[in-house]
Structures are given as C-alpha cells and as structure tokens.
Amino acid sequence: MNDKPNYYYPPEDAARQSASGATPEAPSVASPQSSEIPASLRRRDRSRMVPIVAALAVGAVIGGASGAGAALLVTGNRGATAVSGSNETQGITVNRPDSVTAVTAVAAAVSPSVVTISVTDTSGSGGTGSGVVLSEDGYILTNNHVVTLDGAAASPQIQVRDNNGHLYTATIVGTDPTVDMAVIKLDNASGMTPIQWADSATLNVGDVTIAMGAPLGLAGTVTTGIISALNRSIQIASSAAPQDGTGTDPNSSGPFDFFNFDLGQGQQSSGSVAATINIPVIQTDAAINPGNSGGALLDASGKLIGINVAIANAGSTSGQSGSIGVGFALPSNLAKRVSTEIIASGKATHGLLGAKVSDAANAEGSTTVGGRLEEIVAGGAAEKAGLKAGDVVLKFNGFPVTDASDLTALVRTSAAGESVTIQVLRDGKVQDIAVTLGTYEG
C-alpha cells in the first residue's frame, strides 16, 4: 500500500447517481415581516455585521427567527427569510436564537451565497459539487472539474439549487483548467446575494476558517477549522493541463506524485488524467469532503478567502477516503481575478515563464531547496530577462519557492504580462531579476 499523501478532487458524491432519479420538489418558504429584523441588519454590506459578530451580539443577527428548527438567512437584497429545517434546503437551522455562536451568524449570513451544483452527462452519470454566487443575476464560481465531471463531460447538463431550494438550469460561461476554476450562469435568475471577497494576501496561519458547501450531496453543511498553511502548492491530476514548456521534471519524485479523481465506484473518466497541474492553495483543517469542491472557505467575518478544491488522501487505494484534516482552497485573490476575466471574455490568462523546472533539492551537490531551471525556452520570458539554466529560484515576488511545484504554481497565479521579481541563486550568489511574464491562455 502506498503511504504517500494522495490528493484528489472532492467534487461529487462518493457514489455518483444516475440522472434517472426523480427531482425533489422545492420546499415551501415563508417570509417573516420586515419588522422582525432591524433595518440596520438588512443592509447589503455584510461587512457591517462584523462588529456585531465580533462582540458576540449575534442574537440580534438572527433574532427574527422563531420556532424550533427555524433557519434565518440574513441576506442583502432579500431581507431575512425563515425556512423550515429540511435536508433539501441549504438553510442554517437555529433552535436557540438567543444563544448562538459567531459561526452560526456567519453561516446564516453567507448561506444565500453558496449553492449546490448537480451535473449529468449524456450517459446518465453525474455528481454534485458546490459554488459561490458572484452576482445578483446568477453568475456562479465553481471548479472546472465539477462542471466537466473531471473532464469526462463535454456537454453537461447543469442544475443549481440555492439556499431556499429553488432550482435553476445553468450554462457554462467559461472554464479554466489551468487553475481548475469555472464560471456558470443561471438561467432567469435575479436577486441573488453575491459573496463578499476577502484579501487572501492578508491571511495568517491560525486564522479561523469556515467551509460551506455540499459534501456527499449534503447541502448547507458547515465545518470549521483554522488556516494550517499558506503559500502551499500541490500537484493534482487534470484532463486539460497546459503543455507550454514550463513544468516539473517528469523524472523527479516527491510526496505529491500519486493523484486520482473521485469518480465513484465503477465510474471511469473519458478524459486524460495523466497530465497534472500545479496550483497555489490555502491549507485548512476544516473538514472538506467530496462535494465541497467549488464551495466557500470563509474567514471569521464571513468573507470569501478561498474556493475549496482538493483534499489529501492518506494512502487509500480506492480514492474514496474522507477528510483527514488536510484540505485545500484556491486563494480568493486568484479566484477573483480568474472569474472576472472569464465573465469578461470567456477565458482567463496566466503567466508564462518559459523554462523547464525541477526540484533543486534533487540536484547532485545541492545545498538548498528551490526551483532549478533546467532548460530555457528560446524567446521566452526567462530568456528575455536573462535567467539561465542552472539558476535556482529561491523567491517569486517575495514568496518562498521550495520546489518546482511552488514555482510553477506561482507563475500560474500571476496574470499574463505581469512584471515580477525573481530571486535566484547563481554561482553561489543571490540576486534579484526583474521578469515580465509571457502569456498562457487556458
């Protein structure tokens, strides 16, 4: 048995369902009178709720809910909506509105901005994942592997369920397999509650995290933890990885070599899963399971710090093991840039270094970690900047580089044409080199 960590996407239910199953009816929804919630708590800017949450005066945030099992959703343009506790809705159940926690308040406020996504292909197989609302008219951000069923579905049918149990059909606006993100658009949607963005560059290890999504198809699930690590990079299988001359040495080895898709028992992917992509991630110990993919990783004030994308598998040969406290999310700053570009043009751009990279630690006689440049592509950004084969990249725009995966992920995070500073070790001397990245269009 392989005892190395095995990362895999958690996009779908552990056992994928046939598309022939009956669709449940949307639950009934009752709206309380607006007087039940103070006007100051119905404003659209949820950031103004932070002092209330921080002061633990969260009873006021959900004070309009009444009755056992009632769930109050504090939204911007919908005011407050009370729904009965039901497994078919994404409502946050509050039985004791006078003694709730800060996590309860965040979950209730953000619930309208998190959706459940069901995808089926022409063969009838499918799965579920999660997404976050970007706009009032229904742009939704999720993972590429969710809407393409791990690269197996060319023309998927997509159904989205919001926190009130309303069902929408949706179409793909654009996908970005380079960093595993996609944007879909709900049909005939209005009045949605957009997620609030946090600045992922300001996070600290140890910050509180709250994950929301539909693990194992269980919509409206909330888990908590902390940020376990920042500036992490992982390598995961992809059905559409870039082939551009910038990547890892295929002969190198490391703890991130074994990856697989969570396709469910008996399912096989029709896409190519031999290729890999390197992505920058936030590591968290909040429980993330199959179905959480594309969902929200939030800070203590309810702002989006990341899009849940992958989990670590501690050596299971089946690829079906659940959370072991090592989950990963794409940083919000990357997600915001990529989703904005996809909405504007249907695709996103990424930086291109133009160099073959390996792990410096594996080089004979190496005394440092980093990304070693093995080959320089003629006419590429690296050559134009004066980078040379044998240079060991120690930092990229101030971020430490420990191996080839780190460097590749950081290059992909950057926008095409961005000017960056790369710190290299050359002939025993450390120097900073300015580089204008090339363009890779995924």
33 Cβ contact list (under 8 Å, min separation 6): none
The CB density around residue 33, as the number of other CB atoms within 10 Å, is: 9
**Phi, psi for residue 226 in degrees, rounded to 5:** -135, 170
Q: Is 293 a catalytic site residue? A: yes
The active-site residue out of 145, 162, 239, 323 is 145
The CB density around residue 389, as the number of other CB atoms within 10 Å, is: 12
Q: Is 355 helix (H, G, I), strand (E, B) or coil?
A: strand
390 Cβ contact list (under 8 Å, min separation 6): 372, 373, 426
Burial class (CB in 10 A: 0-12, 13-18, 19+), 25: exposed
The CB density around residue 240, as the number of other CB atoms within 10 Å, is: 19
Q: Is 124 left (phi over 0), alpha (psi -120 to 50) or beta?
A: left
Radius of gyration of the chain (CA): 22
The active-site residue out of 121, 150, 176, 180 is 180
Question: What's the one-letter identity of residue 253?
Answer: S
Q: Is 145 a catalytic site residue? A: yes
Question: Among all chains, which residue has been given the structure tokens 């690296």?
Answer: 382
Hey, which residues does 117 pair with through a beta bridge? 129, 160
Nearest alpha-carbon partner for 61 in 98, 10, 95: 98
The active-site residue out of 200, 293, 405, 414 is 293
Nearest alpha-carbon partner for 89 in 211, 221, 216: 221
Q: Are 141 and 130 in contact (CB under 8 A)?
A: no
Q: Is 285 left (phi over 0), alpha (psi -120 to 50) or beta?
A: alpha
- Which residues are the active-site residues? 145, 180, 293
